[in-house]
Amino acid sequence: METPITAQIEKLEKEISNERERLSSDRMDISFGELINLYKNQELIIRPEYQRLYRWNLKQKTALIESILLGIPIPPIFVAEDSEGVWELVDGLQRVSSFISFFGELDDDLTKMPEELNDEIVVEEDLRVWNKWSLEAGSLVPSLEDIDIDSLPNKYKINLKRAVCRVEILRGESSTAMKYELFKRLNSGGSKLTPQEIRNAIYRGINPIVNELLSELSKNPAFLKLTALSNQKKQELYDQELILRFIALLNNQESVNDNLENYLNHYMESAVKSPVFDKVGLEKIFNEVIDIIHKVGDEKTFRNQSNLFVPALFEGITIGVAQNIDKYRNNDSLLKERINAIKIDSDFKKYSGSASNSKSRVKNRLTRANQIFQE
């Protein structure tokens, strides 16, 4: 007779087996010099648009070079292989970029200085990212101070290039969902990647059309004013996630499930694989909706009484207007009235509270929003 624990173990074994079948991985040891060659030949891709900014300071970069010179083991890097065999860096941006830039081989798009970081003015001396930078005094080798690649003795240059790095490879035949999990679990930079940054990383490799749409729409001046997001939120692509939510919930509301993150993943994957993805149509409806709302709204439109940005309000107002757009093209007074109404509506608030991203709450919230904007 099968016991509950036996059934659970059988289920466990089946789940593990199924998930392992979705993953094809490999590992190899490769020299840092070969990593430079792969990068120069565009066989190793570093995408700054989703890895945020390369932001190690001089002390951290020096510690890396010092460690390699001394033979101290370096943590492995993780790459995802595409259908052409090209590696895309998943984890290890700072290590790889620091090494490549020390040799003067880093592309211009990764050597740019951000104006702001996390709402604070960046101290240029701490975060400079130029090629052929000079080391500071190492904690173990103080004489490294002011040494650059040109002044470093040749034998140490050779040692650096011959030093070995472990590379963990997610093969191209692995499922997209598994690649998403790899990004999510293994990225170990100073600040973890957000779900939208991971989506952009994964799905750009299939087709960049959705990434490009989200990036373009996030620059809409009216959208910027209405959302008034912090620089940190923008760096984390929260603005693009809001736009993805609007597009997904407007066009595929019936597929909402209890995991909003997975729902957005599935929508974006289906969109990048669709031969009929209507980029122009989506761009038109989003911009029109935002422009209509902007005529009567401001940076408080999507915020509560505590001045906190409320994603549920953003979804409810934008989708409510989109579903009734003919009514609001030339009726500013009614729109203003309806926006005020949704912000105080008890039913809408009830579906926007705790567990607001559950399937039933999302659907009930958007149904109520549509009712309010239909009135």
pLDDT at residue 185 above 50?
yes
Q: pLDDT at position 219, please?
A: 96
The partner residues of 167 in beta bridges, in order of sequence, read 28, 77
Q: pLDDT at position 46, please?
A: 85
User: For the chain, how many residues are written?
Assistant: 375
* Mean pLDDT taken over the chain: 87
Q: How confident is the model at residue 110 (pLDDT cuts 50, 70, 90)?
A: low
Closest CA to 102 of 69, 53, 142, 140: 69
Residue with tokens 């074994």: 13
Question: 362 and 249 in contact (C-beta within 8 Å)?
Answer: yes
pLDDT digits (tens, 9 = 90+) for 271-324: 999 999 999 999 999 999 999 999 999 999 999 999 999 999 999 999 999 999
The pair of structure tokens assigned to 206 is: 């299939």
CA distances from 257 to 243, 249, 252, 254 (A): 18, 11, 11, 9
H or E element that contains 137: none
Q: CA 350 to CA 364: how far, in whole Å?
A: 10
Q: How confident is the model at residue 187 (pLDDT cuts 50, 70, 90)?
A: low
> Please, where are the H alpha helices in the chain?
4-21, 32-40, 58-70, 93-102, 124-127, 154-162, 176-186, 195-204, 209-217, 221-227, 231-235, 238-251, 260-273, 279-296, 311-323, 325-328, 332-344, 346-350, 359-374
Looking at residues 93-99, what average pLDDT do you find? 90
pLDDT at residue 247 above 90?
yes
Looking at residues 316-335, what average pLDDT do you find? 97
pLDDT digits (tens, 9 = 90+) for 39-55: 999 999 887 554 554 56
pLDDT at residue 23 above 90?
no
Q: pLDDT at position 51, please?
A: 52
Q: pLDDT at position 88, please?
A: 84
